[in-house]
Amino acid sequence: MEVFFHFPNSVFPYHVRSSSSSSSPSDSIPYKLITVHSSILLSRHLHSQAEKLCHLLSTSGLQINEFFCGRTLKRGRPTIRRATWLDFFSENDSSEKDFAGKRRFHPDTSHEKKPFNGRLCTNILLGLNVLVYIAQVASEGRLMFMGAKVNSLITQGQIWRLATSAFLHGNLIHLLVNCYSLNSIGPPVEMFSGSKRFMTVYLTSAIASSLASYRFCQSPSVGASGAIFGLVGSLALFVLRHRNLVNTPNGDLLQIGQVILLNLFIGLATPGIDNWGHVGGLVGGIGISWLLGPSLRFGSGKDDRRRRIIIDEAPIFRLIKRK
């Protein structure tokens, strides 16, 4: 959840209180438990679908670690042909760009496959959120000093608050709910998109969340939930793009949609939650994921038609090719 607060103007440090004077932190605990429960259900479903998709690719003779985790398992030194800065998003060390402006991945099956985990960046973000919260406690809750989203200060030029506010939390329950949600949603998205794209989606969603909150919500706010909503949007777009690879795409989209609507409803029903931040993060995550991909399809090599490859048709490759 992304929570907004009223800060006392006359004191540093200050005590943070909810923007609703009639509500107490315990009032929102039932809603937060509902959020955690929905995250548990979605997490189980996502991990089940990830295992099925991995099995499908494995039986097709494709290297799962390359596809999901961005690793290339080769003997000897990997080669890069026609490498550009777009390789940052290709998540592969062996690639070539064809004349259609698409990225081709050539899976290597010469080595034994290792179990994928796909959660390095998720773990880093979880650790960072916890460390920042420890720093908050040590500083006696100086949220404004540490970078909360405060519209007046952003207007004065402190634009870094659009990003730093996503790593701050109002209290321990707020931190735990967001960390659990990130731990549930993050690994599947990181597996599907790769670590670099995952971090780009997360940070872009965080900034988009703060921008929407800056535009439509005057109260100061903190929280990682806007970025997490962006990951959910990225996952929904992945399922929509790859309906032919997912066993039950309609069921997946329905379950993801239910989680989004449930959390938006909780935001409307609970005082002190910044719904504009949630919506901004969701839109930002979908938008950047549409641009960067992945948007994959199966194909065959030019020289060897029997060689099976995965082609990434993310729009960014076509846009750069036109320029």
Predicted pLDDT at 303:
61
Predicted pLDDT at 80:
28
In this structure, are residues 230 and 279 in contact, taking their beta carbons and an 8 Å threshold? no
Catalytic residue among 174, 184, 278, 289: 278
The pLDDT confidence band at residue 17, using thresholds 50, 70 and 90, is very low
Per-residue pLDDT reduced to its tens digit, 208-265: 999 999 999 999 999 999 999 999 999 889 888 888 776 666 777 777 777 777 777 7
- Tell me the CATH number for domain 21-53+118-292: 1.20.1540.10
Predicted pLDDT at 227:
96
Catalytic residue among 210, 225, 234, 289: 225
Q: Is 21 a catalytic residue?
A: no
Per-residue pLDDT reduced to its tens digit, 253-312: 777 777 777 777 776 767 778 889 999 999 999 999 999 988 887 776 666 556 667 788
The pLDDT confidence band at residue 16, using thresholds 50, 70 and 90, is very low
For the chain, the domains span 21-53+118-292, 58-114+296-322
Q: Is 58 a catalytic residue?
A: no
- The structure's pTM equals 0.72
